[in-house]
Chain A
């Protein structure tokens, strides 16, 4: 069952050069019981897309087109005021980027939890506290102690877990995590990823994890969507995509990840730099400047996101087999420094 359906979503930001798209015609499904990983470099539009799921795109941005259908709620983009507020934190739980630093330093965690309950007009605040304690305990923390703590008394990994408690305490069915492990060390990262997988399974959630670290996400996700220049360029079942990346960008991203196994010399940094709003190509494929496989068609026509076999989609003019075998000028041949 599909819990969240994003269709043809276009989000624009106002710049001195006019309205420019940060997300262009993105379509994505979040299915019940699945963890979807959304990967891409900084500026690929992944956080903007995630904020649109809450209809919370910040100024000077606007949703120019598209819809976000959430099961049991309808199109979030058409909601406003009280209804919207109820959905945010209610059906849709969101753990913000650097959520370690998104708590009020002057209030204990418990008081902030009560604020959350009141703003959502929860009648039974005791039950809310009990549920929060239960969630905290299941994540390996001492619930009582945590609720009595100020944020500075907790470690980075614990604050990240509390972010997840806040997102889930109102029984959200959809959990969105923006860069949940970026500021954490390896041991805390492993613990947080493990907890995300556990609470996801226990509560039968639809989870979306946004990250630039394809290695971290591959540990727990079921599906992988790759974003570049505001477009989803490839998606599909995670194992299949990692084994057989058919978009040159996905392939390069996997090859550019520092790994603990494998040949050190085989790894390549991605050439060039990721585009931002003003430098992203208006015509043709957005990745062509950095693509070792680029052909003439890439300069004129933007490749559509085409559904392929085994639940996979890709947006590329080059044949999948060519990308897989890496023949015409492998990424290695391009090299160069960004």
Chain B
């Protein structure tokens, strides 16, 4: 469906005092999203994940690499001809409070794109109301109650459902959910995540799920892949559960360690860790980008830039150091081994010293604990 090959994006800024400086928002991101599949990108603020979402929806250009949609290389097309491909990819924005026009009732918000789409497909534009009701029912809202309302009359969760319904008006094949639940009450998040999962299974819509909250990525459904992105570079990827249970990149481990522990029900993982300092974009990183903040960095990490290699000691990683091989022995649990050869779902990492650590919380038996 979507294939990204080495997408890069560099921003040049000219501050009045700081002088010219370039920021590499994306440094070569590849991924493949099959029809009905799900890929999650996690990372902290400023790691380039929102830029990626904008590139995928055509709201931002890329300056290197290639974006392939349904087998067509988009950079070869004239901008006008790209529109049809980007129609298939729709965005769900982060903030449902500002994503809807407050001066238009929901029927206007949904009606305009529905009529436009009907003209494209040759359907009867006058039937938009039926289609709007159908979409609202699909996202779990009562059409008659919601259509005449204005956004301020709806709750955050309801608004996000309207935003999703609006994205569905143009018959997309892919939804890009950029922090789609982070502005919503915790109690309503699972409902929205369940809806996205439902759209995948019922309509075969693929999902790109962009978030900083790893826990929510578990709820997007079967076969989801997790890509951990740091300063525009994917540092670890694999099936969501594999990466969460046996992370090998220290950055992934720091992110997972930061997930709050539900004390009383969970206890912290034995190897919980944290970055040694805050992100400083200005410090030089000729080697591993995470080296300045990495609790396990060595001399080699400062000089050698690691690239993504499979977790199983492939030729590339085995040739590098003996130590890396030793590290993967402990990490290569049954999950990783069974996934070998499963194409993109293979567990890969960009670390010179991969070492599986148990950093996420461990569930405790409530019955046993309370006695």
- A248 vs chain B, min Cβ distance (A): 13
B213 — which chain A residues lie within 8 A by C-beta? 186, 258
Cross-interface CB contact of A261 among B186, B278, B363, cutoff 8 Å = B363
Whether B191 contacts A242 by the Cβ 8 Å rule is no
- A218 vs chain B, min Cβ distance (A): 5
Whether A261 contacts B155 by the Cβ 8 Å rule is no
A189 — which chain B residues lie within 8 A by C-beta? 258, 260
B45 — which chain A residues lie within 8 A by C-beta? 155-156, 184-185, 188
Q: How large is the interface on B (under 10, 10 to 19, 20 to 34, 35 or more residues)?
A: 35 or more
Whether B360 contacts A337 by the Cβ 8 Å rule is no
Cross-interface CB contact of B214 among A243, A257, A260, cutoff 8 Å = A260
A193 — which chain B residues lie within 8 A by C-beta? 260
Tell me if B212 counts as interface (CB < 8 A to partner A). Answer: yes
Whether B191 contacts A337 by the Cβ 8 Å rule is yes
Cross-interface CB contact of B262 among A186, A259, A337, cutoff 8 Å = A259
Whether B275 contacts A42 by the Cβ 8 Å rule is no
Whether B260 contacts A218 by the Cβ 8 Å rule is yes
B180-198 vs A, Cβ < 8 Å mask (1 yes, 0 no): 0000011111110111000
Which residues of A are at the interface with B, using a C-beta cutoff of 8 A? 41-42, 140, 155-157, 184-191, 193, 212-216, 218-219, 238-244, 252-254, 256-262, 264, 267-270, 273-274, 337-338
Whether B258 contacts A258 by the Cβ 8 Å rule is no
Binding stretch for chain A, among B22-30, B33-41, B263-271: B263-271
B252-280 vs A, Cβ < 8 Å mask (1 yes, 0 no): 00111111111111100000001100100
Interface contact tally, CB-CB below 8 A: 145
With A and B bound together, what is the CA distance between A244 and B44 in angstroms? Answer: 34
With A193-B260, A243-B369, A273-B157 known as contacts, the answer to whether A256 contacts B44 (CB < 8 A) is no
Cross-interface CB contact of B263 among A188, A219, A257, A262, cutoff 8 Å = A219
Question: Can you sample 11 A-B contacts with CB below 8 Å?
Answer: A140-B278, A155-B278, A157-B278, A184-B45, A186-B212, A191-B274, A239-B264, A243-B369, A267-B219, A269-B187, A338-B158
Which residues of B are at the interface with A, using a C-beta cutoff of 8 A? 44-45, 140-141, 155-158, 185-191, 193-195, 212-216, 218-219, 244, 254-266, 274-275, 278, 360-363, 366, 369-370
A257 — which chain B residues lie within 8 A by C-beta? 186, 262
Whether A190 contacts B189 by the Cβ 8 Å rule is no
Whether B155 contacts A42 by the Cβ 8 Å rule is yes
With A and B bound together, what is the CA distance between A42 and B184 in angstroms? Answer: 9
Residue of A nearest to B220 (CB): A264
Whether A214 contacts B361 by the Cβ 8 Å rule is no
Whether B369 contacts A260 by the Cβ 8 Å rule is no
With A and B bound together, what is the CA distance between A261 and B243 in angstroms? Answer: 13
With A and B bound together, what is the CA distance between A264 and B222 in angstroms? Answer: 11
* Known contacts A186-B214, A212-B186, then 10 further A-B pairs from the complex at CB < 8 Å, ordered by chain A residue: A41-B185, A157-B278, A212-B187, A215-B186, A219-B261, A243-B370, A260-B244, A260-B256, A264-B219, A270-B188
Whether A215 contacts B260 by the Cβ 8 Å rule is yes
